[in-house]
Amino acid sequence: WSLGCVIYQMATGKHLFHGYHEYDIFNAVVRVAYKLPDDFSNIIGDLIQKLVVNIFYVVCLL
């Protein structure tokens, strides 16, 4: 999870999750609400999508 966030920030220079307040950012993280830029590399985009997944969903499947 955190590796995906770091890779995104290194590639774009921006944070993966945005919001006006800390609560908005918290909700974006919980909902895994992010958008990759249109001009993003497919390889990096695929890697980020595989790393930044809904952890709560994965834990429930186990």
Overall number of domains in the chain? 1
Model pLDDT, residue 20: 93
Model pLDDT, residue 60: 55
The DSSP element (H or E) to which 46 belongs, if any, is: helix 42-51
Coil vs helix vs strand at 48: helix
Residue with tokens 């990759």: 36
Model pLDDT, residue 62: 53
- pTM listed for this prediction: 0.73
For residue 51, what are its two tokens? 């790393």
* Ordered per-residue pLDDT tens for the chain, 62 residues: 788 888 888 888 998 888 899 999 888 888 888 888 888 888 888 888 888 887 665 555 55
Model pLDDT, residue 61: 54
Whether residue 34 contacts residue 52, with contact meaning beta carbons closer than 8 Å, is answered with yes
Whether residue 48 contacts residue 36, with contact meaning beta carbons closer than 8 Å, is answered with yes
